[in-house]
């Protein structure tokens, strides 16, 4: 049996919106909403929050421990690739799902789809962001622990080590890559949190779906298209 580990990178030191992953919506931090939705994915064996070893991120450690059912890893602040590699090794992952805590609307159905496509096609990397068609904030990346180890050993570029997967995407002749797309291109929409305006949008979306914790990417797209004024900022 292969072990599928979802590694969620999270930190408080965002420059554009400080402490953004701990901003609360409906009484729960953005990180908490992300974890709650990931827990609904059927193809994940373990979820690990991978934060930094900075003192300020003790807050993320404490929150993660309070959630229950979520593991924690702390590693290098800037070298996110090494953080992923060490986390993968410690939790004995075979397959890794990369998630970020600033995507609180992550769709568990898309996560499951990505993992199943990865397995069915025996590829090194599967994603919906090679040729984007989903709104930013619904990005999914799945890759093998073996490939992660390879790029960690070989990559020295600072940008690549900060963003983890570019060394895979840059070597399409070496690694087998699979992209999956939505039926229509909605890549112009964004539901990730980088700025205060993004946070306000997420609040509006969650207010609309209040009482329904299992709303999907398609439902969010439909809501945004009916309420275009929300995205005009």
pLDDT at 212: 85
Please report where in the chains the tokens 């900022």 appear, as a residue.
Answer: 233
pLDDT at 231: 87
Give pLDDT tens digits along the chain (233 positions): 899 999 999 999 877 888 999 999 989 999 999 999 999 999 999 999 999 999 999 999 999 999 999 999 999 999 999 999 999 999 999 999 999 999 999 999 999 999 999 999 999 999 999 999 999 999 999 999 999 999 999 999 999 999 999 999 999 999 999 999 999 999 999 999 999 999 999 999 999 998 788 999 999 999 999 999 998 76
Distance, in Å, from the CA atom of 174 to the CA atom of 32, rounded to the nearest integer, reads: 37
Phi, psi (5° rounding) for residue 186?
Answer: -120, 25
Distance, in Å, from the CA atom of 151 to the CA atom of 161, rounded to the nearest integer, reads: 9
Buried b (16+ CB within 10 A) or exposed e, 22-43: bbebeeebbbbbbbebbeebeb
Distance, in Å, from the CA atom of 102 to the CA atom of 196, rounded to the nearest integer, reads: 12
Q: Encoding tokens for residue 119?
A: 């397995």
pLDDT tens per residue across span 152-161: 999 999 999 9
* CA–CA distances in Å: residue 20 to residues 125, 131, 196: 29, 27, 9
Distance, in Å, from the CA atom of 80 to the CA atom of 61, rounded to the nearest integer, reads: 17
Q: Encoding tokens for residue 192?
A: 């990730």
What does the radius of gyration of the chain's CA atoms come to, in whole angstroms? Answer: 17
Enumerate the H helices of 97-165 as residue ranges.
108-121, 145-154, 158-163
């Amino acid at each position: 049996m292969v072990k599928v580990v979802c590694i969620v990178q999270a930190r408080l030191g965002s420059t554009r919106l400080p402490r953004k992953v701990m901003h609360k919506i409906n009484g729960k931090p953005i990180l908490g909403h992300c974890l709650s939705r990931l827990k609904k994915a059927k193809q994940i064996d373990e979820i690990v929050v991978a934060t930094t070893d900075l003192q300020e991120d003790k807050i993320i450690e404490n929150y993660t421990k309070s959630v229950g059912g979520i593991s924690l890893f702390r590693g290098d602040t800037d070298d996110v690739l090494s953080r992923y590699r060490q986390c993968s090794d410690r939790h004995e992952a075979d397959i890794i799902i990369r998630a970020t805590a600033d995507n609180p609307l992550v769709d568990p159905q898309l996560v499951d789809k990505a993992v199943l496509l990865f397995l069915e096609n025996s590829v090194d990397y599967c994603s919906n962001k090679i040729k984007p068609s989903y709104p930013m904030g619904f990005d999914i990346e799945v890759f093998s622990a073996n490939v992660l180890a390879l790029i960690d050993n070989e990559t020295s570029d600072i940008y690549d080590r900060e963003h983890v997967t570019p060394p895979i995407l840059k070597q399409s002749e070496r690694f087998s890559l699979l992209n999956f797309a939505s039926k229509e291109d909605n890549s112009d929409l964004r539901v990730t949190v980088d700025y205060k305006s993004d946070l306000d949008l997420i609040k509006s979306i969650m207010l609309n779906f209040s009482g329904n914790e299992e709303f999907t990417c398609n439902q969010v797209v439909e809501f945004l298209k009916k309420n275009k004024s929300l995205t005009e900022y």
